[in-house]
Amino acid sequence: MLGLIISDITNPFFPDLVKSIQEKALELGYDVIVLNTNYDPERDTRYVQRLLD
């Protein structure tokens, strides 16, 4: 399982990046969880902690 934390899912840069990461991860037998922080540092901290747990 891989966690991908991004700042803004609506940013046009991210959809292609997320898709590429997910495709490669699936090839290698991994699943991907995408977490969108929306530029909120509290969310960022919480998501990092959840992934570490």
Question: Which CATH number belongs to the domain containing residue 16 in this structure?
Answer: 3.40.50.2300
Per-residue model confidence (pLDDT) at position 44? 96
Which helix (DSSP H) or strand (DSSP E) does residue 36 occupy? strand 32-36
* CA R_g for the chain: 12
Positive/negative CA dihedral, 50, 34, 5, 45: negative
Low-confidence ranges of the chain (pLDDT < 50): none
Spatial CB neighbours of 49, under 8 Å, sequence gap ≥ 6: none
Per-residue model confidence (pLDDT) at position 6? 96
pTM of the model: 0.82
Domain that holds residue 26: 2-52
Report the number of distinct structural domains present in the chain: 1
Residue whose C-alpha is closest to residue 14's, from 31, 39, 41, 51:
39
